[in-house]
């Protein structure tokens, strides 16, 4: 084996070893690397009241209630579990029922989550507004797009 291929092998081997080390670290820290928990993950976790966490999911249909001009109540769901959320503040533009959202805050008791921040999550679909109308007219509109 020539010297240059020995060097190549050494470099590639080193890269593989460092990469697997980094991935192992990240894999074991995945709960901390993940930006949010889903509502069904929350059930299996031991989260103290007043512990600051983030929950991500969809805003459940027909769950949004406006209590006053800046205080809201809604449910976050991942279709397996749902969590009741209260929020005081300004909601982002994309926030609506059926839309993905990430909320930051604390559980005030076992069932109610008090949000301090609400972020709207955007999905990977891009579609012109005119096509939405067309799809609605022809009945091909997928409710999940909302």
Partner 1 sequence: MMFLVNPSKFNKVADYVFLPALISSIILFSIGLIFAFYLSPDDYQQGSTVRIMYVHVPSAWIALLTYAIMTLYSIAGLAFRIPFGFIINTAVAPIGAVFTLICIISGSLWGKPMWGTWWVWDARLTSVAILFIIYLIIVFMNLSFENRVVREKVIAIFVLVGSINLPIVKFSVDWWNTLHQPATISKLSKPSIDPSMMIPLIIMTFAFVMVGLAIAILRIKTEIISRKSYLS
Interacting residues with partner 1 (CB under 8 A): 4-5, 7-8, 10-12, 14-15, 18-19, 22, 26, 30, 33-38, 56, 90-95, 102, 117-132, 145
Helix (H) or strand (E) holding 83: strand 82-88
Cα gap 112→76, rounded to integer Å: 11
Closest CA to 125 of 144, 107, 138: 144
CB of 77 to partner 1, least distance (A): 15
**55 with 14: CB under 8 angstroms?**
no
**67 with 87: CB under 8 angstroms?**
no
Output 26 or 108, the one with its CB closest to partner 1.
Answer: 26
Closest CA to 84 of 68, 65, 70: 65
CB of 127 to partner 1, least distance (A): 5
Output 68 or 125, the one with its CB closest to partner 1.
Answer: 125
Output 112 or 131, the one with its CB closest to partner 1.
Answer: 131
CB of 130 to partner 1, least distance (A): 6
Output 44 or 109, the one with its CB closest to partner 1.
Answer: 44
């Amino acid at each position: 084996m020539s010297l240059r291929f020995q060097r190549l092998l050494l470099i590639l081997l080193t890269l593989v070893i460092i990469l697997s080390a980094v991935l192992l670290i990240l894999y074991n820290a995945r709960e901390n690397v993940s930006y949010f928990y889903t509502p069904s993950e929350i059930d299996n976790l031991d989260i103290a009241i007043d512990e600051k966490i983030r929950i991500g999911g969809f805003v459940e249909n027909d769950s949004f209630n406006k209590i006053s001009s800046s205080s809201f109540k809604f449910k976050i769901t991942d279709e397996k579990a749902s969590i009741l959320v209260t929020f005081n503040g300004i909601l982002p533009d994309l926030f609506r029922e059926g839309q993905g959202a990430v909320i930051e805050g604390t559980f005030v008791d076992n069932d109610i989550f008090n949000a301090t921040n609400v972020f709207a999550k955007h999905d990977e679909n891009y579609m012109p507004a005119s096509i939405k109308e067309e799809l609605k007219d022809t009945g091909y509109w997928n409710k999940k797009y909302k």
